[in-house]
Structure 1
Amino acid sequence: MMIHDNHVNIINRSWASYGADVRISTHDVTTEAGCEELLKMANEMGPVEAIFNLAVILKDAVFQNQTSESFKVSFGPKALATMHLDKLSRKLCPSLKNFVVFSSVSCGRGNAGQTNYGLSNSVMERICEQRKKDGLPALAIQWGAIGDVGLVADMQYEDVQLEIGGTLQQRISSCLLALDKFLKQDEPIVSSMVVAEKKAGSSNCGNIVEAVAQIMGIKDLKTVSRQIPLAELGMDSMMAVEIKQTLEREFEIFLTAQDIRTLTFARLLELSAQSDNAPSTSVATRVQNDAAVGMRIFFRNFGEEKFANEPLIHMPTLISNETGEKEAVHAIENVMFMMPGLEGCAAALEPLSRSLKIKVCVLQLGTEHRNENCEQMVDRLYQLAISRLVPGTKFWLLGYSFGAMLTLDLAAKLERRGVTGTVFCLDGAPDFLLSLAAAVINYKNDFQLQNSLICKTIDIVSPNNEITDTLMEKLNKIEDYDERIKYSISVLPVQTNYSNEFIASIAKVCFDRMKVVINYDTTNVKKLKSQIVLLRPRETPPFVVCEDNYGLDKFSESPVTVHFLDGNHVSIIENKNVADIINNVIYNS
């Protein structure tokens, strides 16, 4: 490690003022012999009670340009020196109380161009973990950027704050306070950093997909396949670095270099939906199989199991304080019937219901009806709705996502009975859903679709589990769908919200419903007399090809009313403007 003479003189004078005996060793600590001489020299001065390795040498380059020599340069003073100090201190330093190495956030979180540096720090951390297991003192500190002194301080221009990997410089006084706390605790690996202020979406691009497309020089996303990895679309090493940094800086999404290499636009589309719907605090985004990830757009939650198979659930609204319990069968004047998304339960619609000035009944799909087609589902919903409509009154129907398909068919069936009304489609329509499914789900065959549904079901019933990353690979080896579900449940982490029977049932019926989306036929649709109101996000997801009205003009004799709102397919249901528009339509009627 190089030390500037002026810096050494200042430190020496400072320590000497406290009566310290300071000696500078020039032994080569990257060799075992050099480390041994260093420790022997220290023992001559007195018992060695603390060892600190603060060494840092950077040799940054993208991985393709790294060499064995660039790895050795970084590896020596950090990894090799720590290995030798660990081995020799065990016999030469019996009074040792502290064994501290300075690691980096580039090891804990990764940093473009620093594979060699990250490896060196990782080796030091593994040594500390082993020492702790052996009952010896050990501490590795993953520091972020340090201000006042050191490499980052040398790069800083005047008082301009540098942002590196999403962190700002930590003042040396703060570092010393953190160090004091770290020395008093027992964990072998700790971190200290100053997280930069979040500026998600501050780039000139409106979303993640557009930002990546701009970096790669792709002007029209419809000209490329959503399933082909970016590397095969022409992404070179420098583009990969820029994409990684842009995702971290602008959208708070942290991916590994391997994730970047295998990234597809289909996966970016899902990350965009997650980012729009996530809290502002920074979290590491875990990336899974494309198909399983894409399913998140179609699912919300399963609600409470005890209510899942109730055919009808009354919801709390601005004029009704229903608790969600099933209500007795009777006709209700001025009521809105809602059809939920793919999961088929009422829970996801509660945020919207609470802001409406009309009574709301959700017609649930349940989990007891297997192998149903669209017509059979609609027949069940029709029997529920017609028995609760007051003769001579108009209907109010709302379908969210998958529920919009059923709502259109239900409206047609009610019109054949002589009843008309208004149909609200909340970001749902047959053409749109089919295109969305094609954009975010790899469903080349039923086998892949079933596995994706299983993984997503497991994610909902047991959030933040550690099995779905490897589950898809296991499922691909099991032929029978029921056996795949059975295996998935057997490895599911312990949870108390849902029974195994319910989990199995929901995976099976959701497969039936996805097949309805894929097989829906719009060629011979009878147009509705009832008004159709579409509430949709302003931006159409990339790769989704459909008209502004989602092709709903095929279902209506009159023009479709379209409202463009903030949000995405997942978050729009919580947009207050949705409720305001619905309330105004009802009031004006």
Structure 2
Amino acid sequence: LRGIQHVLLASTVPEQQTSLIQKIVALAGTPIKQSLDKNTTLEELGVFDDKIQEISQYLKLTYNIVFDENKIPFLTVDTIQQIENSITKPAFKDEKGLSTFFTFVDADELVATTDFVCLPSLVNNSSMREDEFDATQTYLCIVPGMEGHHERFRLLCERLKLPAIVLQPGLDHLRETMQETAKRFVDVLLKKTQLQNNFYLLGYETGIAIALEMVALLEDRGLTGTLYCIGFAPDELKVELDEQLSEFASEEELQNAVARHMFTLMAGGDARGLGGLQAASTWAQKVELCVRTLLGRVPHSAQ
């Protein structure tokens, strides 16, 4: 840029991507092959004891990963790739249409029948079952939005310094009013958590209105607490819904899209077998077609 010639075009050179295994082996000063067997260990790649401490410090300072130095030589290529996948920031994907609102289907259908789901946080390393619930702790109680699924909150809960539970809408309360849902959730909280004073609620999108009703009911019982509201406000959510669903010109198009989307989620992205969806004239027929096609392909029952 400081030369005597006129600059016609200047651009940055993309940084060459280097995998974690390449960085580790480079620290050890060992050449690496282009293709590696996933079961190959660092020791087999020529990473010896004199470099283990340096690699250990590199992982700790750069990625906040701590390993027993005695185990580092026996880390496999596959293990290191899994570590790299877990620390790599995922690329942001701007979802459109129904994917904006419905993103998960549980492999375990019985989970949907429980009153709530416990999610891992910084104070509990693994998901607890409902029968393992410790009522002596203070919990963040999450009221989900339209999707009604706990998985959307997993990443958020992993960073919390208190246990977290996600209240579930359930399958037997499809025609509940907002007030009825709030009362049912409050009854679950009082029974399971044995709330004595402070409560922490989080409402997400449509769950905000239910959470506000819950706060009123809890305060009527003399309890105080904190409510966090995240996501779209109710009026904003309506605008977003209208925008995302504007591509569907008729009720039937929307039904076909919903059936296809949920089928694809349950089948792991495989939409084969839905050729007769257009011919099904009613919603019940569309659901029946999807269920029959999914039999044997997913662990769910036909109920």
Q: Which residue of 1 aligns with 2:102?
A: 299
Q: Which residue of 2 aligns with 1:387?
A: 191
Compute the displacement of 1:432 (Å).
2.0
Task: Tell which structure's C-alpha radius of gyration is larger.
Answer: 1
Q: Distance in 2 between matches of 1:445 and 1:422?
A: 42
Q: Which residue of 2 aligns with 1:214?
A: none
* Alignment map for 1:35-114 (pairs within 5 Å): none
Q: Distance in 2 between matches of 1:416 and 1:373?
A: 20
Q: Distance in 1 between matches of 2:264 and 2:288?
A: 15
CA displacement 1:450-503 (0-9 Å, x = unmatched): 44332221121013324488566334xx13x222210222334852232232xx
Q: Which residue of 1 aligns with 2:219?
A: 415
* Alignment map for 1:192-231 (pairs within 5 Å): none
Q: Which residue of 2 aligns with 1:462?
A: 267
Contact 1:405 1:429 in 2 (8 A): no
Q: Distance in 2 between matches of 1:374 and 1:444?
A: 29
Residues 468, 398 of structure 1: alpha-carbon distance in 2 compared, 3 angstrom cutoff:
farther
Q: Distance in 2 between matches of 1:340 and 1:421?
A: 18
Check if 1:452 corresponds to 2:257.
Answer: yes
Compute the displacement of 1:328 (Å).
5.4
Of the candidates 276, 282, 286, which is equivalent to residue 92 of structure 2?
276
For residue 208 of structure 2, give the secondary structure of its aligned residue in structure 1.
helix
Check if 1:353 corresponds to 2:157.
Answer: yes
Of the candidates 181, 184, 187, which is equivalent to residue 377 of structure 1?
181
Contact 2:256 2:278 in 1 (8 A): no
Of the candidates 295, 302, 321, which is equivalent to residue 125 of structure 2?
321
Contact 1:465 1:493 in 2 (8 A): no
Of the candidates 268, 289, 297, which is equivalent to residue 487 of structure 1?
289
Residues 374, 415 of structure 1: alpha-carbon distance in 2 compared, 3 angstrom cutoff:
same
Residues 363, 473 of structure 1: alpha-carbon distance in 2 compared, 3 angstrom cutoff:
same
Residues 496, 419 of structure 1: alpha-carbon distance in 2 compared, 3 angstrom cutoff:
same
Amino acid at match of 1:276: F
CA displacement 1:156-200 (0-9 Å, x = unmatched): xxxxxxxxxxxxxxxxxxxxxxxxxxxxxxxxxxxxxxxxxxxxx
Q: Distance in 2 between matches of 1:416 and 1:448?
A: 45
Amino acid at match of 2:284: D
Q: Distance in 1 between matches of 2:164 and 2:274?
A: 39
User: How does the TM-score come out when normalised to structure 1?
Assistant: 0.32
Q: Distance in 1 between matches of 2:241 and 2:128?
A: 31
For residue 377 of structure 1, give the secondary structure of its aligned residue in structure 2.
helix
Compute the displacement of 1:316 (Å).
1.6
Q: Distance in 2 between matches of 1:333 and 1:492?
A: 41
Residues 392, 490 of structure 1: alpha-carbon distance in 2 compared, 3 angstrom cutoff:
closer
Contact 1:340 1:401 in 2 (8 A): yes
CA displacement 1:66-103 (0-9 Å, x = unmatched): xxxxxxxxxxxxxxxxxxxxxxxxxxxxxxxxxxxxxx
Q: Distance in 1 between matches of 2:110 and 2:219?
A: 33
Q: Distance in 1 between matches of 2:249 and 2:214?
A: 30
CA displacement 1:32-78 (0-9 Å, x = unmatched): xxxxxxxxxxxxxxxxxxxxxxxxxxxxxxxxxxxxxxxxxxxxxxx
Contact 1:405 1:428 in 2 (8 A): no
Q: Distance in 2 between matches of 1:487 and 1:469?
A: 8
Contact 1:399 1:428 in 2 (8 A): no
Q: Which residue of 1 aligns with 2:12?
A: none
* Alignment map for 1:503-542 (pairs within 5 Å): none
Contact 1:389 1:395 in 2 (8 A): no
Contact 1:399 1:426 in 2 (8 A): yes
CA displacement 1:232-277 (0-9 Å, x = unmatched): xxxxxxxxxxxxxxxxxxxxxxxxxxxxxxxxxxxxxxxxxx9832
Q: Which residue of 2 aligns with 1:368?
A: 172
Unaligned runs of 5+ in 2: 1-89
Q: Which residue of 1 aligns with 2:228?
A: 424
Q: Distance in 1 between matches of 2:206 and 2:197?
A: 26
Q: Which residue of 1 aligns with 2:278?
A: 473
Q: Distance in 2 between matches of 1:317 and 1:329?
A: 14
Compute the displacement of 1:438 (Å).
0.8
Check if 1:403 corresponds to 2:219.
Answer: no
For residue 334 of structure 1, give the secondary structure of its aligned residue in structure 2.
coil
Amino acid at match of 2:262: T
For residue 289 of structure 2, give the secondary structure of its aligned residue in structure 1.
helix
Q: Which residue of 2 aligns with 1:163?
A: none
Q: Distance in 1 between matches of 2:252 and 2:178?
A: 21
CA displacement 1:352-377 (0-9 Å, x = unmatched): 21210011111112223333332332
Contact 1:314 1:327 in 2 (8 A): no
Residues 296, 395 of structure 1: alpha-carbon distance in 2 compared, 3 angstrom cutoff:
same
Residues 426, 499 of structure 1: alpha-carbon distance in 2 compared, 3 angstrom cutoff:
farther
Q: Distance in 1 between matches of 2:216 and 2:251?
A: 30
Of all paired residues, the percent bearing the same amino acid is: 23
Compute the displacement of 1:389 (Å).
4.8
Q: Distance in 1 between matches of 2:257 and 2:218?
A: 35
Compute the displacement of 1:310 (Å).
0.9
User: How does the TM-score come out when normalised to structure 2?
Assistant: 0.59
Q: CA RMSD for the aligned pairs?
A: 3.3
Contact 1:340 1:364 in 2 (8 A): yes
Q: Which residue of 2 aligns with 1:339?
A: 143
Q: Which residue of 1 aligns with 2:114?
A: 310
Amino acid at match of 2:99: R
For residue 141 of structure 2, give the secondary structure of its aligned residue in structure 1.
strand
